[in-house]
Each structure stands twice: as structure tokens, then as C-alpha cells.
Amino acid sequence: MRTIIRGQAFVLGDNVDTDQIIPAQYLSYDPTDPQERRYFGRYALTGVPESQSGLPDGHIHFVSPGAFKSSYGIVIGGKNFGCGSSREHAPLALAEAGIRLVVAEFYARIFFRNSVNGGYLLPCESTARLIDHIRTGDDLEVDVDAHVLKNLTRRGVHALKPLGDVKPIIDAGGLFAYARSAGIIRGPQREPHDVTA
């Protein structure tokens, strides 16, 4: 099944770390409790400083006050996205906020692996510096299988690197769900995360 993801861009800079993605004071919520898990989405990207914001007024409004989901659908980052601590709550927070896809120049290894292992979101890499070509609020369409990002607002087309062997893991809902479905391990199936539009 072809994966096409559409949404408005939320643009960040280089070296966005896991403390900026989900600040430590919000780690007290229990990710296994559905009522508490959604708070990770509410507080996603609240640690990003104003200098990193892609918004013209310099303020972070990734999730509106009182809401649990963001009106943005795709995060665009620069270099070394998800650096810092090995916090697996970082990709979870973005997924809970409604993000299905992050596109960055490259990722901190642990953020990439946590995104894949948890089946939280698709961590795509760009072949160009997209933060110089895309603005927050631009309407985007990403064909994950064709490795193409279209900026519908500015009529730009950008190539992405193939996800390769990690896409089936994300599609299955994470590493353990994939291993169960492939017969590598035994155990009950769980519903995969929906990362398709």
C-alpha cells in the first residue's frame, strides 16, 4: 500500500534535542495510560527556544493551548535532529501530537532508532537543506514510497532518501509487532500505529 502523507509544515533548525522535543518535567506522565499518554502530544516541542522557531513571530505554537493535537502534520528539521538524551518519549510525543513524518537532513542515531523501534513515525532524510526552502505553514505532500516531497504552496519538489528496511517495521507498529508478524517471536499481536494518510 502506497504511503502518501499530507500536512502543513512545522519548520525547525539544526540540533533540535530530545529535551526540546519533550521537556523533562513532562516525563511523569505514564505512556501506557491512554489518558496520560496524550499529554506527551500537548507538550511536544514546548522546549524549543524562540530562536529555533520556524514561526515569523518567534513563538512556538506547535500545539494550541488546551489542545492535545497539533494543526501541523509534518515536521521539517535540519541537521542532527533528535540529539541529546536517549529519550524514547521524544518520537512518542511527536506522534501523540499527530505528526506522522519528520524530514531532516540527518538524525541522531538514537532518535532514529526509537522512531523505528516504537513504530511512532517515519524518520525521512532529505537530500537537500529543506529548512532553506520550506516555511512553517506550507502545505506539503510526501510520497514515501517514491521518495519525493512536494511543497504545494511554493511548487517545489525535493528528493528524499529511501527508508529501506525500516519502513516495514514502522508500518507493522514497531520492532516487536514486526517480529511477531514475521514469525521471529511469538506473542499476541497489537494494532500498528497508523502512519498513512
Confidence of residue 186 (pLDDT cuts 50, 70, 90): confident
Confidence of residue 105 (pLDDT cuts 50, 70, 90): very high
Arithmetic mean of pLDDT over the chain:
89
Contacts for 104 with CB less than 8 Å, ≥ 6 apart: 76, 77, 78, 79, 81, 82, 123, 124, 125, 126
Contacts for 19 with CB less than 8 Å, ≥ 6 apart: 47, 84, 85, 87
pLDDT digits (tens, 9 = 90+) for 25-82: 999 999 999 999 999 999 999 998 876 665 555 556 899 999 999 999 999 999 999 9
Query: Distance between CA atoms of 50 and 6, rounded to whole angstroms?
Result: 26
pLDDT digits (tens, 9 = 90+) for 73-90: 999 999 999 999 878 899
Q: Take residue 156 and report the three cell numbers written for it.
A: 517545489
- Contact (CB, 8 A) for 132 and 106: no
Map out the domains of the chain with their CATH numbers.
4-181 (3.20.19.10)
**Among candidates 112, 88, 95, which has minimal Cα distance to 163?**
112
